[in-house]
Amino acid sequence: MKRTVLIFILLVWSLLLSTNARAQEFVAGDEITIVISAYALIETNYAPVSLSFTPSTAGAAITSVSNSDLFVKISSTVPGGTDREVTARISSGTVPTGTTLTLVSAACTTTNSGGVLGTPVATPITLSAIDQDLVQFIATCYTGTGYNDGYQMTFTWIPDIAATNYGQIDSYSYNITVVFTLSAHDGN
Amino acid sequence: MFVNKKNILIFSLIVLFSSFSTIIPAQNNNTAEMSITFNIPAVALIDFVMDGIQTITYTYSSSNPNQVEQIITPTIGDKTWLNYSSIVISNLTNYITAHISSGNLPADVSLNVLVSSDVGAGDGITGTSIGQITLSRFPQNIITDIGSCYTGRGIHKGHQLTYIWENPESYNYNINYENTNPVAVTYTITSTE
């Protein structure tokens, strides 16, 4: 008799357990949270940029030199209603005395890109140690990852105010480092 | 022994945290660096520009035994302008020399060249003219201390060159002299390097 009672109790208990297990399954599928983090990735195509003045006519001034080999690639997501900028500055070295280096971005290439790729600033910036905008109003987008994908950058090197500074130009080789930044979105 | 195990645990935690802190900035990859190389080669370019044709003819007439005549046409030659472009290495300068590179002058006659100052049509540190020299077969400085500059290209730019014949008092008109060969004067720009 005692044994029968024990078996009964065990049966009820196991029944309860199996009910509990079902109840747990129900709860487990309830909430799904998808997180899209805001992110900002920037990279160049590592094109070497080398600029050289090569005057060829006696009596003539050295003329401007340009290089458009560099492309800047980005990936960006932003919270709704916010945007980012691509900025550039000189982080080390200085542009040779008597000369000026300007930089302007083209609109992003369209082949492999998508999203809100922003608007390039039309007027070339004169590079300095302070960040200046090259492309504005970038929201969620990607430029593509190919060598010639992204924002094509045109560097132009010119003698600056010749009347006062031409005599300061020294024959030499110089190196500078330029840093491109994909800024934090303006909702930050 | 127990203490050691605890230490190991703490150490592992520190390593774990520090590796996290390394990873976090790496993910925030919102800058890209690049290097730009500038090259300014040394430059020394020189050229003439002439306003028309620069021919100075020197002859004399002795048809009448009692009379000789010098004929120099034109009396001076000032139609040539010297243009140059120069980029120098720091603390160095360029200079320009002149010499007679071919042909012979009539005996006892010398040819001078007067080099004007730069007229200021260009920019930078143009050279200093030495003034007037008597040309010879040996190069002599005519413009020195040229820094990084350009004179502009064309007539009325750079330095004006004026050729002047000179006859010594002792000129012997009895020497029969015939020479129809032109005289060439060469100008050379060189670095003080």
The DSSP line for B131-161 is: -EEE--SS-EEEEEEE-SEE--SSTTSSEEE
Q: Mind listing the pLDDT tens digit for each residue in A33-72? A: 788 888 889 999 999 999 999 878 999 999 999 999 999 9
For testing contact with chain A, the best of B27, B31, B38, B128 (most A CBs within 10 A) = B38
User: B55 versus A102: which is more confidently predicted?
Assistant: A102
DSSP helix/strand/coil, A143: coil
From chain B, the residues in CB contact with A178 under 8 A are: 33-36
Going from N- to C-terminal start, the domains of chain A cover 39-182
Going from N- to C-terminal start, the domains of chain B cover 43-191
Tokens describing residue A69? 């080999």
Task: List the single residue in A70, A171, A178 with the smallest CB-CB distance to B89.
Answer: A171
Which of A166, A92, A155 shows the shortest CA–CA distance to A128?
Answer: A92
User: B123 versus A187: which is more confidently predicted?
Assistant: B123
Which ranges of chain B have pLDDT less than 50? 1-2, 16, 18-27
Rounded to 5 degrees, φ, ψ at A122 are -70, -35
Check residue A56 and give its pLDDT.
80
Is the pLDDT score of A75 beyond 60?
yes
Judge: B147–A181 Cβ closer than 8 Å, yes or no.
Answer: no
User: B192 versus A18: which is more confidently predicted?
Assistant: B192
For residue A127, the surrounding DSSP H or E stretch is none
Check residue A185 and give its pLDDT.
84
ipTM above 0.85, yes or no: no
What is the average per-residue pLDDT within A95-107? Answer: 96
Judge: A179–B125 Cβ closer than 8 Å, yes or no.
Answer: no
Check residue B165 and give its pLDDT.
78
Check residue A3 and give its pLDDT.
75
Q: Across all residues in chain A, what is the average pLDDT? A: 88
Rounded to 5 degrees, φ, ψ at A121 are -75, 125
